[in-house]
Each structure stands twice: as C-alpha cells, then as structure tokens.
Amino acid sequence: MLRLEKRPQPSKLWTALTPLLAVLATMVAGGLLFALLGKNPVEAIRVIFFDPLFNEQVASYARPQLLVKAGPLILIAIGLSFGFRAGIWNIGAEGQYIMGAICGAAVGLAFYPSENPLIFPLMVMAGALGGWIWAMIPAILKITFRTNEILVSLLLVYVAEQLLASVSLGLLRNPEGGGFPGSRNLASWDASSNPELIAGTGMHWGVVAAFISVIFAYVMLSRHIFGVQLQLAGQAPRAARFAGVRPEMMVFICFTASGVLAGLAGLFEVTGPAGQISIDFNVGYGFTAIIVAFLGRLHPIGILLAGLLMALTYIGGELAQFMLGLPAAAIQAFQGMLLFFLLAFDMLSNYRFRLSAREAA
Amino acid sequence: MTVPLLRLSGITKSYPGVRANDDVSFQIAPGEIHALLGENGAGKSTLVKAIYGLVKPDAGSMELNGAAYAPSEPRAARAAGVAMVFQHFSLFEALTVAENVSLGMEDPPPQRKLAAKIREVSRSYGLPLEPDRLVGDLSAGQRQRVEIIRCLLQNPRLLIMDEPTSVLTPQEVETLFGTLHKLSDEGTAILYISHKLEEIRALCDGATILRHGKVVGDCVPAERSAREMAEMMVGTDLTPPERRELTPGAVRLEARALSLPAQGQFGTPLREISLSVRAGEVLGIGGVAGNGQDELMAVLTGESPTPGGTLFLDGADISGTGPAERRSMGLRTSPEERLGHAAAPDMSLTENTLLTSGSAQGLTKKGFVAWGKTRSATEEVIETFDVRTPGPGTAARALSGGNLQKYVVGREVVRNPPIFVVNQPTWGVDAAAAATIRQSLLNLAEQGSAVVVISQDLDELLEVASWFAAMNEGTLSAPREVAGLSLDEIGLMLGGGDAQDAAAISEAENAQA
Amino acid sequence: MSVELLLTALMIASTPILLAAIGELVVEKSGVLNLGVEGMMITGAICGFAVAVETGSPALGFIGAALGGAAMSMIFGVLTQFLLSNQVATGLALTLFGLGFSALIGQGYVGQVPPSTPKLDLGPLSDIPFLGPVLLSHDLVVYLGLALVAGVWAWLRYSRGGMILRAVGENHDAAHALGYKVIRIRLAAIAFGGACAGLGGAYLSLVRVPQWTEGMTAGAGWIALALVVFASWKPWRVLIGAWLFGGITVLQLNLQAAGVKVPVELLSMSPYLITILVLVIISSDRRRANLNAPAALGRIFHAAS
C-alpha cells in the first residue's frame, strides 16, 4: 500500500520540479481534451506551445506579443504573491486593474489635447492610485471589521466591471466617436501613449515595470526582514504576532502592493496595447495572474517564467483558434487545469509516498 | 492464576527514524490498576494507540480475555470493551456534553434518555455533569469528566487513561482516584499512563516501565520508592538543579489590577491581576490548565494589549506596546506552544531566530538581514543548550519536542534578558533537558534577572521559584514565599481558596507545631 | 409594479443562490471551505442545459446538473482531501477551470432554447389570490430548495449523521480519534455541495434566464458563499438571506425596466454592493460572527498514524 507521510522539512528539489511536472501533465491532459474535441492533440500542443515562438510565418507577430501579454500578468502576479505568501487573499486584482485603467485614463483625458510631457507620468500615478484605492476597500474592511477579504475583493470586480461599462458609455466616451462606446484612443495621442520601446520586441513601459517589480520583490523577499515576516504571517499567524508582526499592517502592505501593481498594469495596458477604455477592456489578466503567482511558486523568478509561459498559452490559444478552430474557451479550461495539476503535485514538496507492507490506511 | 484480561506479546511499531515500540510485552489482570510509566517519547502513547485500534503494530500480538485481539479501528476496540480517556484532542467544544458522549458510543440511546443516564452515572461516580452545557464552557477538570463518563456508559472491561491528572487540582485528583478505585472494585481494569511517580505509588497495583520503546522493568509501585522508579524510567541518576540564595533587587515587572475581557467564545477573562517581580527573583505561577494562564502570557508578551496603567516595566507604562517594542526594552518571553507560536514549523531555525531578535542584536540593519550573523547566533543557541539537530538550516518541525523546547527557551536565555517570562518551560521535555532548562532559569535570576515561570507542574515551580502564586478562573492569588509553603496550602490556592484562608491554615499549623 | 408579481419573481430569483448556499453550508459545517461554488454552478448550468436540450426533459437536465456539479466538486475533494492541497487555492482553481470548461462544452448551445420546466399545478389552490401565484404555482425546484433548507436544518440538528458532520467540522483530530472517517464524511459533504451548486446553476440556465451564455452565473456563486457567512451557518438564515438578495435583484431589474432615473450600472452593481455591506455588518459583530463557525474550517487534515 502507498502511504502519505509528512516530510520532516519541505523538499527544495520538489518545490522547483512541481511546476514542470504540472506543465507536462497539463499538456497530456489538455491533449486528451483536444482529442475529445476532435483535434489532433499533438498538433494542438505544438501550435500552442511552439508555433508562437518558432513558426516563421507567425513568429514576427507572435514573439512581441509574448512580452505584451506577459507584462501585465507578471506585474499583477508579483503583487498578489506578497499577499498569498502571508495568507492574505486578494483575488480581485481584475477589479483593481480596471480601476487603474479608468483613473489613469480619466486623468489623462482631462488634459486632452495638451501635449505636456508630464501627462503620462501623471497618468501612471493616477493608475497606481486607482488600483490602490480599489484594493484598500477590502483591506480596510478586513482590518476594521474582519470582513472576509476574499469575498469583498472578488465582488468588487463585478462592481468595477459595471463602472467600466458606465464610463465607456458616459463619462469617458469619445465625443468624436460617432456615439460608439469607448474612449478616445490613448495610444495614438502622444502625450498619453505607452509605445513599443524597442521595435519588434513588444517591450513597453509596463514590461519595464514588470521587470523592475521582479527585481524589487526578489531583493525584498530574500534579503529583507519583510520577506521573513510575510512567510511567518502566512505559515504561523500566532508566531507572527509573537514576533511583533502586526497583522493589520501586513494586510495593508499586501493589498497596497497588489492594488498598486494591478492598477499600473491596467494603466499601461489602456495606454498601450488596448489603446482605449471600452466595455470589453478587461480580458481576465487579474484572474490568470492568480495562476501565474502559484505556478511561479510565489517566487519572483518563478513568476517571471510562469508569466511568460502563460502569455505563451494565450498567444498559442489564439493561434490554435484560427489555425485549428480550437474554441477560445479551451485555453481557459487549459489554464485552470494547469493550476489543478500544480496543486496536486504540490504535495510532493511537503509529503512523500512510502510503501508500507501492512498498514491499510 | 486467572486468565489475564489483556496480554501483549512482542508489540513492535516503527516510524521513520524511530522505533516507538520494541518488543513490548506485559499483561493486565481483571480489576487491576496497571501503570504504564515512562518519559515523554518513551512510546507509551503509541502503545496505547495500538491497544485502542488507532495504530496497527508492525509485529506482535494481543489477547483480550484469552482470545486473539487485533482491533482495526477504535470502533472495534470499543466493541471489545476497551475504552480510552484521551489527554488531548477528543472533545468538541461547540457541541453539548450529551452530544460529545453520544459521539463516543456505539449504540447511543436517544438524546433525552442519554441525558438522564449521564446525570445518573455521573452522580453515582461522584463526577456531576450537566448534559446540556456546551463543552467549550467547561473547565479542564469537567471536560475530563465528560470523557470518563463517555467511557463508563459503555461498561468497559479495560479503561485506558492517558495522563489524566495533568489538568486537575490536587483535590480533583483525589476525587478521580476515588472513582478509579470504585471501578476497579467493580472489576474494571485500568491502564494508567503517567510520569508522575507519587500518583502511581498511591494508585496502581502494578507497573510496566518503558524507556526508548522497550520494557525496562516491572514492579509493584507501592514497594518501590519514587526515586527508584524514576531512575528506571530515566536510566541515569538524577540531580536536581542547584539553587543558591538570591538577593532581590528593584521591581522590574509589575501588573496593577489588570483586567481583560475573554477573547473569543471559550476564552477566560483576566480579573484584577496584580503582580510584581523584582530583579533576582523567580515568580512561579501555578494553576490548572485553562484558568487564564495563556491569556496572562499573551498580555505579558504584548500580543494582547491592555488598557493604559496596568502593566509596568521598570516603572514605565508598557500596557499598549507590542512584542517587538517590549523585547527592545529587555522583556523577553517564551510561550507554551512550541510549534506555531514560539516557532514557525516550516521555517528553519535560523529564520526562527529572527522572530525574537533583530536590529538590537545586530542581526538586521535597516530591515536587511545579515544572514551570516543570524546563522552564527542560531549555532550559539544550539551549542549552549545542546539542541540535537543537523544544523541551523533545519526546519523547526523536524526537531523533536524536547529539542525544539530547548531551542525556543535557549533562544531567549542566551540573550541574558533582564526580564524573562516563560510558559511551561519543560513541557514534554526529557528529564535531563528539563534539568538544563530549569538550571538556566535559576542562573538568569542569579545574574539579576527578574523571571516569571508559568507552569502546571507544581514540582517544577517549587524547584525554581522563590515566590508562588496560583491562577484560578482568571484571578491571580497573592504571591507567597515558596519557602515554608505546604502542599495543602498550594492546593487551596489552586482551587481558588482565598490567599488569606491559606495563610490562616498555615498559621494554624504553625500554632499546632 | 405589483407586490404579487414582485414576490413571485423573488421566489424564482432567490432559488439559484439558495440551492448553492445550502449546499455550501453543509460543506463548511464539515470543516471544508470550497470557494469553487461559482465554478460548480456554471458547470451545473451548462450540464443541465445540455442534457435538457438533448433529451427534451428538464427533469433529466436537473439530474445531469447535479451530477455535473458533484463531479466537479470531486476534483476539489480529491485535491484537498487526499492530496492535501490548500483549500483556498483549490477552490479558486475550480472556479477558473469551471468557467473555461463550461464555455467549452457550451459552444454549441449558445442561442438555443431549453424545454420549459413545468410548474406545479394545484388546480384551484394555485388560483387563490396572492398566495396562489406567490407560493403555490412554481416549478418543483423552487420547492426542492425550500425542502432542502428544512431537511438540512433538521438533519444537522436532530440526526446522528448531522451530529457527526458537525463534530468533524469542529475538531477533525478528535473525530478521527473516535474512529470516524473524516475524509469520507468530508468527501460526501463536498459532493452534496457540488450537486446543490449544480442544481442552482441549472436553475439559472433552464428556468430563470432561460438560455445559455458564457459566464452567465455572474458572481452568483460568490454571493452564495457570502450568504453562508451572512447566515452564520444556520440553514433558516440562508433562506432569509437568499430572499433578501433575490428581492434586491428583482427590485433592481424592475427599476431598470421602469426607467427610473438612476444609472443602469448603479442598479446592476447594487446586489454586489449590498452583499459587501451585509458582510461588513455581520463581521463587525465579532461574537456573533464566530458563534457558529466550524472551528476546523479550511484546515488541512492529515492523520498522523
């Protein structure tokens, strides 16, 4: 009989290996899923994982997209990873992302059509502020009333979506847009544009911000007492209080980090790749970033890699959509599956299987 | 000779890295009160879990009333007439007494009949209980009654009791012993697990002594001295800690009429607690578990803030300060729960050192951690307190209970804190390590620190403390000097008897003498 | 707007969250926090819809939905109970996966019309003014929801099984020590919760909307989770909560239709805002909030021996 047994201490090897195992298992299970949908599984996997990078016909379009899509994912996931380490669950990053975009865009559009170079920095600040304020709602409710932050932050996503619809149809609607919903194009207005910095790479200010956040998080988590305190708060809340870590402070800091970074991600998206505020501006980066954070083991370098991988599945998914007619939803299910496998294999780092001759349970 | 009720032959059980039971054999006669004696970690718990069907032995066999007995689960054990009163983990706080009893029975009668039966049985054994009360609202002693009644309602032939007296006052212990003798007279055998030697000498007909999973001896407890049995149990000669005259200095830590409402549904409120500890003194705080010790500890560590003007350090009001601030002022603490409170289980010892030391000890600078210094600080604790571990990078939960306890107490003591508060300093620690820890507390006091020791182990308190006070339902008795304190007086203090009553008794005794 | 129509609509609007919440209540009482209600609901919605369309039988549709929801919940069950994964993360994964998976199955069903679910016909009773339409002329699932509330309440309170479930949710180590099969009991509770969420989802796609669109649950699963907290884990309060939220939903839809001078978006976000408000009010009263909460909620159980 196989028996599960707790390891005396977590295995570093398995902690690093589980994401790779999870990706492999997802490819196999995803292949089965695609086969059920009547697609050639090998081809589907190839289109999703390899063609975006190596197929010459599409690579010129697809390669830059990798950073474009990975940027917001990494930025948001880094912010979430702080809280997830501490057992503070902000799962409403999608809402903070939307609010960052709305606030940033609104501040920018207030100056239209000025070409003042300070407008873009001002928008960046407004975007961060927007995401931060939206994140502060669950944070402050948790601190003062002990309200469950999971539910509040998530419910606020739906509220933010309604606000997004409202401003696209009203407040921020392009007066010259012929009555169509959506704001002016921010990407084509120089003062607010977040352009591709190096042609052909997809690198824009949001990607730069993502890289900076990875480095910052790495230093904080490995060298600073804050990293120890985060881990402490998550693994042993009583020990944290004994050590003098104030739980309210942790909630505040973690929601600040995730709110600001999600707000920034929204701002860089609306001024760059998306270009305008519209009803369907948000595409679920805030939720996918949760998968990215876990897949990256809540570790900055891991998140960087996981963000790139997730971006790849997005692009590959789009590719598979028009090359193989694979439905868009398939890739979403595929990403969810990845998280399942990761959680399943996760146990290997804390437990090990033992053969036992007699024990039945 | 009659057929033994239970016979164990060659029971062996291994866990990774330890052989918990190694070829254990002994037998119990019907109606016998049999002691299973051994230090923490000697394998007593594993053995009784095997008898109760919670653990399947790797080798060996058991016989009950002459028939082969191999319970696959507790249910089977109960059906065979074996019942067990646990030390921990077996009651449900949010459920009523009757529901708790019902959950432990195979064919429980309807709740109303059961309630009547609980009243009847509990009264006839001198353990009165109210079936409709929530268990969470009961004292530790009353909770134990629930467990005992749960067992008795099934008319067991063998009753296993795991460390039953650790949560009782001396008076409650007497009541319990009365009940056990009555059961034994009715023919119920009792397997009594303990490391308290005097109790065993008073109660048990026979004893089996375990050390490192092996049987190292059998005896009739009444015929042996406590010291003889202790040496069989420990395997070495014991030396009590050295105690020198302490010269008290100025008051370092003081609480003035400190009150705190109960935290959570089943917490204990603190009521008007006053205490003061001088430099060079050890104040021992005794009491039955659950009378507010944990709450008092949280107040002293700074985890539960109290209203201003209630707690003072060297005359300065520290009521509103947090744990980190208090540490920087020289107040160090070590809570009871090792894993999850004093130390984070999955973090390394090095990281755990950072829990209570930081910039003041040069381990951090502007929040950035000097990992090298932290590691050597950890190594110092490991060496000084003989913590058995592969190294400072080991996760806290990989250490045995005793070694981890040495680490968490040592982590504070090596810093020579001017004020040190510790809760249950030697809980679950073997005798040798316990002696080391107690000696270090005495050394601290000798060097002029003010020390507060909260413990449920009276012997320990009498060994290290210069002053003794007892907690009862959230109040703290007036401290009395340990020298000249009698066991009766202590019992009264623990039971909430007024300190003046105790003083009156001692005066009366003195007058007689 | 007539009060009668409003209350009739309320009964229908409250049923999906009522079903999901009463299922989750049982799950949480066993000490497990399954945040995947949204994912199980949407899976139930599409399974129920697909089965009903293919077979033409709404009854079979609801059965299919319950099975679909339960199957989905078993992924969560295996991960959290056998592989000891974090319940919060696994619940989230279930929701993310459920949204994608349901969209995948549902591709061919967009725009189709499901067979209509028959309503109870009590003849003259259904014609009683006011009471008839409000209480006595709904489809059977509405009554199933009410029966489940009563059943769960009585079962938890009076049956031995219910007592064991509460004990497991209170202290799994103690329950294990007494010989109860903690994992088996929790798996059963999780499956029940999944089936209920599935039914709730199908009620949306087969009766309330009735249509299939991607992501059609739109947060109903999360509101159901909030409802359990609101109800302090008491079945009858779940019913009250569900009626409250059903009422708000119906009211805001009616206000939208009536063209009241309030922005449509504000009305649409009102159920979410009010849910947050209620959560705050409930949680601010610390003693009441914790009174009935299962002590082992969300904690991982691993028998040491």
What CATH number is given to the structural domain containing A243? 1.10.3470
Terminal C-alpha separation, chain B: 49
Average pLDDT over residues A111-136: 94
With CB atoms and an 8 Å threshold, state whether C303 touches A287: no
d(CA C64, CA C52): 8
Over residues A69-81, the pLDDT tens digits come to 999 999 999 999 9
Domains of chain B: total? 2
Over residues B64-93, the pLDDT tens digits come to 988 899 998 888 898 899 998 876 657 898
Q: Is residue A286 part of a domain?
A: yes
Interface probe for B, chosen from C178, C233, C302 (most Cβ of B below 10 Å), is C178
Q: Is residue B1 part of a domain?
A: no
With CB atoms and an 8 Å threshold, state whether A158 touches C218: yes
B175 and B270 assigned to the same domain: no
Q: Is residue B278 part of a domain?
A: yes
d(CA B206, CA B121): 28
Instruction: Indicate if the pLDDT at residue A2 is higher than 90.
Output: no
Q: What phi and psi values does residue B253 have, to the nearest 5 degrees?
A: -120, 135
B218 and B344 assigned to the same domain: no
Q: A3 CB near a chain B CB, below 8 Å?
A: no
pTM above 0.90, yes or no: no
Q: B93 CB near a chain C CB, below 8 Å?
A: yes
Average pLDDT over residues B50-60: 90
Name every chain A residue with its beta carbon within 8 A of the beta carbon of B335: 242
Confidence bin at A358 (pLDDT 50/70/90): very low
Q: Is residue A138 part of a domain?
A: yes
With CB atoms and an 8 Å threshold, state whether A232 touches B303: no
Choose one of B176, B206, B234: the last residue of a domain.
B234
Which CATH number fits the domain that encloses residue B59?
A: 3.40.50.300
| Structural domain harbouring B333 | 251-512
Instruction: Indicate if the pLDDT at residue B202 is higher than 70.
Output: yes
Instruction: Indicate if the pLDDT at residue C184 is higher than 60.
Output: yes
pLDDT value of residue A344: 87
Element (H, E) at B270: strand B270-278
CA B174 to chain A, closest CA, distance in angstroms equals: 36
pLDDT value of residue C222: 92
Interface probe for A, chosen from B368, B375, B411 (most Cβ of A below 10 Å), is B368
Nearest to B322 among A8, A10, A246 (CB): A246
Closest-CA residue of B relative to A222 is B369
Name every chain C residue with its beta carbon within 8 A of the beta carbon of B55: 305
With CB atoms and an 8 Å threshold, state whether C163 touches B264: no
Choose one of B234, B262, B285: the last residue of a domain.
B234
Q: Is residue B299 part of a domain?
A: yes
Confidence bin at A308 (pLDDT 50/70/90): very high
B319 and B452 assigned to the same domain: yes
Domains of chain A: total? 1
Confidence bin at B240 (pLDDT 50/70/90): low
CA C219 to chain A, closest CA, distance in angstroms equals: 7
With CB atoms and an 8 Å threshold, state whether A9 touches B335: no
B429 and B504 assigned to the same domain: yes
Task: From residue A317, give the alpha-carbon distance in Å to each of A228, B72, B125.
Answer: 38, 52, 73
CA A119 to chain C, closest CA, distance in angstroms equals: 29
Choose one of B168, B199, B234: the last residue of a domain.
B234
Instruction: Indicate if the pLDDT at residue B416 is higher than 60.
Output: yes
Name every chain C residue with its beta carbon within 8 A of the beta carbon of B73: 179
Summary mean pLDDT of chain C: 88
Q: Are B397 and B345 in contact (CB under 8 A)?
A: yes
Over residues B368-393, the pLDDT tens digits come to 999 999 999 999 999 998 888 888 99
Task: From residue C305, give the alpha-carbon distance in Å to each of A2, C177, C301.
Answer: 13, 10, 12
Q: C86 CB near a chain A CB, below 8 Å?
A: yes
Q: Is residue B94 part of a domain?
A: yes
pLDDT value of residue B399: 84
With CB atoms and an 8 Å threshold, state whether B367 touches A360: no
B230 and B255 assigned to the same domain: no
Who wins on pLDDT, B72 or C261?
B72
**Torsion sign over Cα B15, B19, B25, B30:** negative
Over residues C103-122, the pLDDT tens digits come to 888 888 988 888 888 877 66
d(CA A178, CA A172): 14
- Prior bond to A113 cis, omega within 30? yes
Q: Are B443 and B244 in contact (CB under 8 A)?
A: no
With CB atoms and an 8 Å threshold, state whether A225 touches B341: no
Q: Are B450 and B277 in contact (CB under 8 A)?
A: yes
Q: C261 CB near a chain B CB, below 8 Å?
A: no
Name every chain A residue with its beta carbon within 8 A of the beta carbon of C90: 340, 343
CA A160 to chain B, closest CA, distance in angstroms equals: 36
With CB atoms and an 8 Å threshold, state whether C223 touches A329: no
Q: Is residue B455 part of a domain?
A: yes
Closest-CA residue of A relative to C264 is A166
Average pLDDT over residues B20-49: 87
Burial category of B377 from C-beta neighbours within 10 Å (exposed 0-12, middle 13-18, buried 19 and up):
buried
Which range, A257-261, C92-96, C120-124, C177-181, is most confident?
A: A257-261
B59 and B102 assigned to the same domain: yes
Nearest to A340 among C97, C276, C280 (CB): C97
Q: What phi and psi values does residue B252 have, to the nearest 5 degrees?
A: -100, -50
B342 and B430 assigned to the same domain: yes
CA B210 to chain C, closest CA, distance in angstroms equals: 21
DSSP conformation letters of A161-177? HHHHHHHHHTTT--TTS
User: ipTM, 2 decimals?
Assistant: 0.87
Q: Is residue A57 part of a domain?
A: no
Q: A205 CB near a chain C CB, below 8 Å?
A: no
All partners of chain A with 3 or more CB pairs under 8 angstroms: B, C
B13 and B143 assigned to the same domain: yes
Instruction: Indicate if the pLDDT at residue B455 is higher than 50.
Output: yes
Who wins on pLDDT, A159 or B14?
A159
Nearest to B354 among A223, A228, A242 (CB): A228
Burial category of B293 from C-beta neighbours within 10 Å (exposed 0-12, middle 13-18, buried 19 and up):
buried
pLDDT value of residue B502: 46
Instruction: Indicate if the pLDDT at residue A357 is higher than 50.
Output: no
- Of the candidates C212, C186, C192, C222, the one whose C-alpha atom is nearest the C-alpha of residue C16 is C222
Average pLDDT over residues B258-262: 90
Q: C227 CB near a chain A CB, below 8 Å?
A: no
Q: Is residue A309 part of a domain?
A: yes
pLDDT value of residue A360: 36
Instruction: Indicate if the pLDDT at residue A361 is higher than 70.
Output: no
Out of A2-6, A202-206, C40-44, pick the least confident.
A2-6
Interface probe for C, chosen from B56, B103, B105, B111 (most Cβ of C below 10 Å), is B103
d(CA C17, CA C223): 7
Q: Are C68 and C47 in contact (CB under 8 A)?
A: yes
Closest-CA residue of B relative to A9 is B395
Q: Is residue A109 part of a domain?
A: yes
Name every chain A residue with its beta carbon within 8 A of the beta carbon of C184: none
Average pLDDT over residues A176-200: 84
With CB atoms and an 8 Å threshold, state whether C85 touches A347: yes
With CB atoms and an 8 Å threshold, state whether A159 touches C272: yes
CA A238 to chain B, closest CA, distance in angstroms equals: 5
Summary mean pLDDT of chain A: 89
Average pLDDT over residues C5-25: 91
Q: A337 CB near a chain C CB, below 8 Å?
A: yes
Q: Is residue B243 part of a domain?
A: no
Q: Is residue A56 part of a domain?
A: no
Instruction: Indicate if the pLDDT at residue B265 is higher than 80.
Output: no
Average pLDDT over residues B303-314: 91
Confidence bin at B436 (pLDDT 50/70/90): confident
**Torsion sign over Cα A202, A207, A208, A214:** negative
**Torsion sign over Cα C93, A311, A276, C212:** negative
Average pLDDT over residues A343-357: 75
Q: Which residue has the tokens 């003098």?
A: A244
Over residues B137-169, the pLDDT tens digits come to 887 778 888 888 888 888 899 999 887 876 677
Which amino acid type is present at position A104?
G
- Of the candidates B82, B17, B28, B24, the one whose C-alpha atom is nearest the C-alpha of residue B54 is B82
Instruction: Indicate if the pLDDT at residue C287 is higher than 70.
Output: no
With CB atoms and an 8 Å threshold, state whether A225 touches B358: yes
Task: From residue C153, give the alpha-carbon distance in Å to each of B275, C30, C147, C166, C234.
Answer: 50, 14, 10, 12, 8
d(CA B122, CA B151): 11
pLDDT value of residue C47: 95
The sheet that has B33-37: what strands, in order across it?
B82-85, B158-162, B189-194, B33-37, B206-211, B214-219
pLDDT value of residue B91: 87
E strands present in chain C: none
B200 and B273 assigned to the same domain: no
Q: Which residue has the tokens 């401290």?
A: B479
Structure-token pair, residue C33: 């926090």
Percentage of chain B modeled with pLDDT above 90: 36
Percentage of chain A modeled with pLDDT above 90: 50
Q: B131 CB near a chain C CB, below 8 Å?
A: no
| Structural domain harbouring A163 | 64-326
Name every chain C residue with its beta carbon within 8 A of the beta carbon of A287: 96
Name every chain B residue with its beta carbon within 8 A of the beta carbon of C164: 103
pLDDT value of residue C53: 94
Element (H, E) at B286: strand B282-286
pLDDT value of residue B242: 60
Q: Is residue A21 part of a domain?
A: no
d(CA C289, CA B50): 40
All partners of chain B with 3 or more CB pairs under 8 angstroms: A, C
pLDDT value of residue B375: 94
Q: Is residue A137 part of a domain?
A: yes
d(CA B423, CA B409): 10
Q: A231 CB near a chain B CB, below 8 Å?
A: yes
Q: B371 CB near a chain C CB, below 8 Å?
A: no
